[in-house]
C-alpha cells in the first residue's frame, strides 16, 4: 500500500468518525424550547481545525417571529467561541419519514460563512442526507457580493 493511499484511508476514517460524532451529538434536540410548535430541532456544527462540536436547539418565543432555529443557535454559539470557518453542520429532529431540512433563513445564515461546507440532514433513526450549502442555496448572495457592489460615493443622491 502506498503512503498516499494510506493517508487517504486514515483521513477518510477520521472523517467518518467525525461525522458519527456529529450525528451522535444531536441529542441537543432534547434541549429544544418549543412549547408552541412542539417541533424539536437540534444542530451541531464542526469548525475547521477543531474537534469540538458546538450545539444548538430551536428556541421559540411567545412573540412567534422572535424564535430562533437550532442551526442559527449552533452557528451563533460557534462564532461567539471564535470559530468562523466550518467543516460541517448536522441537523436532527423527530421526523421519522424524511430528512430535516434547514429553512431558507438558515441556509442564508450558513452561507455567510461559506458555501462549500457540508450539511447533514438526518432522520430520527440517525440516517442522513448530505448536501453542501451551495447545493442548498445555489446562486447565493454572500459577503464577497456585498464588497463588489459598493459605491465609493455612498448615497448617489447626495
Ligand atoms: Zn431555520
Closest CA to 29 of 21, 19, 20, 39: 39
How many Å lie between the centroid of ligand 1 and the Cα of residue 103? Answer: 4
**Which residues are close to ligand 1, an ion, with C-beta < 5 A?**
69, 103, 106
Fold type of domain 22-148? Cytidine Deaminase; domain 2 (3.40.140)
Band (pLDDT 50/70/90 cuts) for residue 155 is low
pLDDT tens for each residue of 25-56: 667 788 999 999 999 999 999 998 877 788 99
139 is in an annotated binding site: no
Closest CA to 31 of 42, 46, 21, 23: 42
> What pTM was computed for the model?
0.84
pLDDT tens for each residue of 71-81: 999 999 999 99
d(CA 32, CA 114): 26
What is the residue extent of each domain of the chain? 22-148
Q: Report, as residue numbers or ranges, the catalytic residues.
A: 71
How many Å lie between the centroid of ligand 1 and the Cα of residue 96? Answer: 19
79 is in an annotated binding site: no
pLDDT at 49: 82
How many Å lie between the centroid of ligand 1 and the Cα of residue 136? Answer: 13
How many Å lie between the centroid of ligand 1 and the Cα of residue 67? Answer: 10
Amino acid at each position: 500500500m502506498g503512503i498516499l493511499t494510506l493517508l487517504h484511508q486514515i483521513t477518510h476514517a477520521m472523517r467518518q468518525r467525525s461525522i458519527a460524532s456529529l450525528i451522535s451529538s444531536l441529542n441537543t434536540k432534547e434541549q429544544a424550547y418549543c412549547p408552541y410548535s412542539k417541533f424539536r430541532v437540534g444542530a451541531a456544527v464542526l469548525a475547521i481545525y477543531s474537534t469540538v462540536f458546538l450545539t444548538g436547539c430551536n428556541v421559540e418565543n411567545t412573540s412567534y417571529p422572535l424564535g430562533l432555529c437550532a442551526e442559527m443557535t449552533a452557528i451563533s454559539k460557534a462564532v461567539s467561541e471564535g470559530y468562523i470557518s466550518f467543516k460541517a453542520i448536522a441537523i436532527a429532529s423527530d421526523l421519522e419519514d424524511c430528512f430535516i431540512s434547514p429553512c431558507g433563513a438558515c441556509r442564508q445564515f450558513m452561507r455567510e460563512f461559506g458555501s462549500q461546507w457540508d450539511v447533514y440532514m438526518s432522520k430520527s433513526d440517525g440516517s442522513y442526507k448530505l448536501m453542501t450549502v451551495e447545493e442548498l442555496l445555489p446562486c447565493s448572495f454572500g459577503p464577497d457580493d456585498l464588497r463588489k457592489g459598493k459605491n465609493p460615493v455612498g448615497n448617489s443622491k447626495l
